[in-house]
Amino acid sequence: MGATRHSKVLIIGSGPAGYTAAVYAARAMLEPLLVQGMQPGGQLTITTEVENWPGESTIMGPDLMVKMEAHAAATGAEIVSDLITSLDLQKRPFTAIGDSGTTYTADSVILATGAQARWLGLASEEKYKGFGASACATCDGFFYRGKEVVVAGGGNSAVEEALYLTNFASKVTLIHRRDSLRAEKILQHRLFKHPKIEVLWNHTIEEVLGTEAPLGVTGVRVRDVHSGAESVVPCDGFFVAIGHAPASELVKDQLELHHGGYVRVEPGSTLTSIPGVFAAGDLTDPVYRQAVTSAGMGCMAALDAERFLAAEES
């Protein structure tokens, strides 16, 4: 049987939200314990340059996350390499079981398990990830100034990404598998009237095409869902915007969720539907999904946890 560890604040996740929560909780003398999960450092470890983290005009994503981890450790947070496989929020203390066999009990929990972009699942898409294929226009749109890009998807994210990309690209082609969008009407209206945007209806993306050396995207091979006819849409950048999957598996039957699986927090706070359980970052956020907003929520979660524990003590 594994060890049992107790902490006042258990932080689950090691992205910007988790590490920021750890810094604040440690500085509040709460001796937080942070469990890193399968992806120490979170989503930014799978990107290259980050150009919108304040204070760093450009920094490699993995380097930024190494710095955040070091910062959290230096403030006194304990950082543990483990994966939480189950979590019981129904009784106090809250109990989490780690893949290592360790049981973590805690007076409060900060959930910062993030979200993962959904990809089409093509081998060619995998090959060009970071080399012309992206799931984040806000992050990578800047690299396509004066170039042509393709966006895949038909929801709010796809339409927002397409509109955002017009700030840089000379042409944006939105490719959708059906003949209508599920995005809000106002966004559709903006999309349809934008002179740089073309919509290709009823087409699926079969392959991302590109060069080998250097690796780079040159187009996408598409298929008409009615006729089966295939054609190529040339582009320099390929953006997938078919939704994000929040990592809410651990809590899906215990906490209130909304927008297709995001943990619902009280507006302006990180309070979830269970007192003492706080949530921060992409796990809660279908809209902004940025490192800096996640870090901001991590800070809020630690402050919310501190207030919760102080109120309990008094």
3 lines the binding site for ligand NAP (CB under 6 A) = no
178 lines the binding site for ligand NAP (CB under 6 A) = yes
112 lines the binding site for ligand FAD (CB under 6 A) = yes
Q: Active-site residues: which are they?
A: 136, 139-140
Q: Does an H or E element contain 72, and which? A: helix 61-74
CB of 251 to ligand FAD, least distance (A): 10
Using the Cα atoms of residue 10, residue 263, residue 188 and residue 243 in order, give the sign of their dihedral.
Answer: positive
Side chain identity, residue 170: S
132 lines the binding site for ligand FAD (CB under 6 A) = no
Stretch that binds ligand FAD, among 13-21, 172-180, 201-209, 234-242 (CB under 6 A): 13-21
Strands 59-60 and 49-50, bridge-based pairing: antiparallel
Tokens of 149: 């890009």
219 lines the binding site for ligand NAP (CB under 6 A) = no
Q: How far apart are CA 27 and CA 29, in angstroms?
A: 5
114 lines the binding site for ligand NAP (CB under 6 A) = no
Q: What is the DSSP string of 264-298?
A: P--TTS-B-SSTTEEE-GGGG-SS---HHHHHHHH
177 lines the binding site for ligand NAP (CB under 6 A) = yes
Q: For residue 149, give the nearest of 59, 230, 223, 216 by alpha carbon.
A: 216
- Binds 276, which of ligand FAD, ligand NAP, none (CB < 5 to 8 A, cut-off by type)? none
Beta-bridge partner residues of 173: 150, 198
272 lines the binding site for ligand FAD (CB under 6 A) = no
CB of 155 to ligand FAD, least distance (A): 17
**Which positions lie near ligand FAD, rule CB under 6 A?**
12-18, 35-40, 42-44, 46-47, 50, 52, 83-84, 112-115, 117, 135-136, 139, 247, 250, 281-283, 289-292, 294
